[in-house]
Amino acid sequence: MAITRRTLGGLAIGGSAAAALSACSGDGDGDGESSGGGEVVWALSGPWEAWNQTTASGNSSTGNQAMTPMMPLGQIGFDFDPDGNVIYDDAIFDGGPELVSEEPMQLQYTLKEGAQWSDGKPVRVEDFIFYWYSVSGNEEHANQEKAVPASTDWGSNVTSIEETEEGTILVTYREGYIDPEWAYTAGVYLPSHHAEENGFEDWQSDPEVMGDAIAWFNENLWDVVTGPYIPVDSKLGEYITYEINENYQGSVKPTIEKLTIQVIETLANEVTELRQGNIAGCWPNEFFIEELEKLDESDELEYEIFSGSIWAHLDFNTDNKFLSDVELRRAVYTVVDIADMADKSYPGTEIPWKGSHFFSEGLDNYVDYVGETTQGTGDADEARRILTDAGYTWDDDDKLLSPDGEQVVFNFRFGNESDLSRLTGDLLQSYLVEIGIDLELSGYSNDDFIPVLTGSEFDWMSFVWVGNPAFTVAPTQFFRSDSNSNFGSYNSPELDEAVDKVRTTFDIDEAAAYANEAGAIATSQAYVLPLWDRPQSIIYNTNLLSGVAANRNSQSGPLFNVREWKYA
C-alpha cells in the first residue's frame, strides 16, 4: 500500500487517541504513595557487554537503559526532561549544585536528608570519591589497566572531594579549569560501602584494590542501589528483573511489583511481541514505518514517532594507509549521497539534514558547517576533481590508484543482524564505485560491536552517539587525539587546540561557538561525517502500562521516568 510521508515531531500515532504522557512531576496522593502492582516486561533492543558504566566496555546505551531502574537519575544523579530542562535526583539531592567559586571552580552539593542506599546505609562522601577515582584516569587512584575508564574528562580535572559539614559535599577542580555546563554534574553512582563489604576495604588508599573493585563491579551486578528498583535476577546482556526498592527516598514512589528489562532484537520481533501481549513496550533502535503501522490494528497499542538525539555518522580509521590522506577522505565523503541514504533507509519519513556534530537543526546554536562543503552531496564529478588535484589516477578498469600507483582499497564494517547497517554498507559500496573504489564489506555480530569499535578493527564504520542537551564534553570525546572515544585515531594539533577552547568560558553561548569552530575544523579534515538524527519511536500497550513518555534528551529514553510508570 502507499506509505504516507511523515515529518518527525512529537505526534503520538496509534489506533486510538494518544494516551497522556507524564513527565517528572509527582504522581499519586500527597505523600507520594499510589496504588499499583502487576508485572511488566519492557523490551531492550540489544545486548550489553559489562555492568559498570564507568568502564569502556560497560559504557553503552543498552546497558544504561537496562540498569536505569536501579541507578541514580541519569546514572549519576541528574538527567534532562522531554523539554530539555535539567532535573536532579531528589532521592539523593536537595536540589542542584551551587557554584561557590569560579577560581578554582568549586561546586557544592546538598544531600537530601535521609538519602540512603537500598540496604539502609547512608549516601556518603565516599560514594562521590569512589566515582571520581573510577573516572579520574589517575594511576594514584586506580590501576588504569583495570579501571579502563570510558571517559576521564570530568574526573581528571577534580582535585578534591570533601564533606564540609554533614550532608554538604564540596568538589574542587584544578586551577584554571572551567565548565560552562557545571549545572549538569553530579557524582553518585556505585555504593562504596558495598565495595568494602566485598573485600575491597582499601580502595581509597590502594590503587590496585581500587582497580580490582572497578573490575568487580564490571563483572558483577550489584544489588545495593539508590534507584526505585532493586535487581533480583539477571543475565548479562539478556535481562534484568527488578522488584521495588522499599528504601527508595524519591518523591515519586515506584508501584510496579515486578519489572523485567529483556533483550528482544529487531523491530519486527518487538512489534510481534507487543501485539501478542508478551511485552508492555519498547524503545526500538530500528525504524520502519511499515512495521509500526501494524500496531494501528489494535486500539490499545500506541506508537510515538520523534526525532531523537541518537545521531548516526560515518567514521574513518586514519591508521589505514589510504585513509590517512585528507584528500581521499574528502573525496569519499563528497561522493556519499546523504539524501539518497536517508530516503532509502527511512522510506516514508522526512529526515532533516544534520550539518553539525553537536547540535540539531532548529536549536539556537545550530550552525550548518557541513553544508558549507561538498561532503554528503553525492557529487561524483567533484569527488573525482578532488582526487585528480591530489595526484590520484585511474587504471584502464577505472580503479582508483593512489599517487604512488597503488590501488585504493579499504573496508566498511557493518552489523550482520541489522538490515539498516547492511543497507548502509550496500549504498556506500554503490557510491564509491563511481570514483573507482571497490569497497569491501565486512560484517560483525552484535556481540562483537564493542570490540570492533573500541579496538579500531575497521577502516570505515557507521555507528551512533546517544546525546542530550549537554554538549561541552562531546568535542573532546569525539575529536581530541588522546580521547578513548576517538576510535579512528585522528591526531590533529589544530583540532586539539580548538576543542580545548570549548571549556575556557562560563558563557554557554560562547562555549557553543567554540564547539562549532571545532566541528568546522573536523569537517574540513573529513574525519567524521554526520548523517542524521535517527528517527525514533516508542511502542507500548496502554492496557499494560501507563506513564510512558518519549524523551529525546535522556540517554535512558522513555525509561528516564520509570519510577512514574504504572501497571495499567
40/55 Cα distance (integer angstroms): 30
**482 and 379, same structural domain?**
yes
224/243 Cα distance (integer angstroms): 12
3-class DSSP assignment, residue 260: strand
Number of domains in the chain: 3
3-class DSSP assignment, residue 493: helix
Return the bridge partners of 169, or none. Answer: 109, 163
**472 and 323, same structural domain?**
yes
pLDDT in tens, the chain (568 residues): 222 223 333 322 222 222 222 222 223 333 334 346 799 999 999 999 999 999 999 999 999 999 999 999 999 999 999 988 999 999 999 999 999 999 999 999 999 999 999 999 999 999 999 999 999 999 999 999 999 999 888 999 999 999 999 999 999 999 999 999 999 998 999 999 999 999 999 999 999 999 999 999 999 999 999 999 999 999 999 999 999 999 999 999 999 999 999 999 999 999 999 999 999 999 998 888 899 999 999 999 999 998 877 899 999 999 999 999 999 999 999 999 999 999 999 988 889 999 999 998 888 899 999 999 999 999 999 999 999 999 999 999 999 999 999 999 999 999 998 888 999 999 999 999 999 999 999 999 988 998 999 999 999 999 998 777 889 989 999 999 999 889 999 999 999 999 999 999 999 999 999 999 999 999 999 999 999 998 999 999 999 999 999 998 998 999 999 999 999 8
Burial classification of residue 4, based on how many CB atoms lie within 10 Å of its CB (0-12 exposed, 13-18 middle, 19 or more buried): exposed
**527 and 380, same structural domain?**
yes
3-class DSSP assignment, residue 159: strand
Give residues with Cβ within 8 angstroms of 316, minimum separation 6: 323, 329, 332, 459, 460, 488, 490, 526, 527, 528
**133 and 37, same structural domain?**
no
Could you tell me if residue 69 is inside a domain? yes
**561 and 516, same structural domain?**
no
Could you tell me if residue 217 is inside a domain? no
Do the Cβ atoms of 450 and 413 come closer than 8 Å? no
At residue 502, the pLDDT reads 95
Question: In this structure, what DSSP letter does residue 116 have?
Answer: B
479/510 Cα distance (integer angstroms): 19
- The CATH number of residue 135's host domain is 3.90.76.10
**483 and 414, same structural domain?**
yes
Residue 123's nearest CA partner among 192, 69, 70 is 192
**334 and 251, same structural domain?**
no
At residue 36, the pLDDT reads 61
At residue 1, the pLDDT reads 20
Could you tell me if residue 83 is inside a domain? no
- The CATH number of residue 369's host domain is 3.10.105.10
**367 and 494, same structural domain?**
yes
What's the domain range around 517?
Answer: 310-534
Burial classification of residue 472, based on how many CB atoms lie within 10 Å of its CB (0-12 exposed, 13-18 middle, 19 or more buried): buried
Question: pTM here?
Answer: 0.77
Sign of CA dihedral 279, 284, 286, 288: positive
3-class DSSP assignment, residue 77: coil
119: Cα within 13 Å, side-chain hemisphere: 11
Could you tell me if residue 82 is inside a domain? no
Give the C-alpha distances (Å, rounded to integers) separating 375 from 328, 339, 434, 520: 12, 11, 15, 12
